[in-house]
Amino acid sequence: MHTVSIGEIQKNITLITQLDEAVTIMDRRRNRQVAVVYPMETQNVVSALAGKYRKRVKPQEDLQQAKEEAMREAMAEKYGLSD
Residue 48 lies in a domain: no
Residue 72: inside a domain: no
Residue 26 lies in a domain: yes
Assigned domain for 71 exists: no
Structural domain boundaries, residue 30: 2-37
In a domain, 24, yes or no: yes
Q: Considering the chain, what percentage of its residues have pLDDT values greater than 70?
A: 83
Number of domains in the chain: 1
Four-CA torsion 39, 41, 42, 46, nearest 10 degrees = -140
The pLDDT tens digits for 55-76 are 776 777 788 888 898 899 998 9
Asked if residue 51 is part of any domain, the answer here is: no
Query: In this model, does residue 33 exceed pLDDT 90?
Result: yes
* Residue 18 domain flag: yes
One-letter-per-residue 3-state SS of 21-64:
CCEEEEECCCCEEEEEECCCCCCCHHHHHHHHHCCCCCCCCCHH
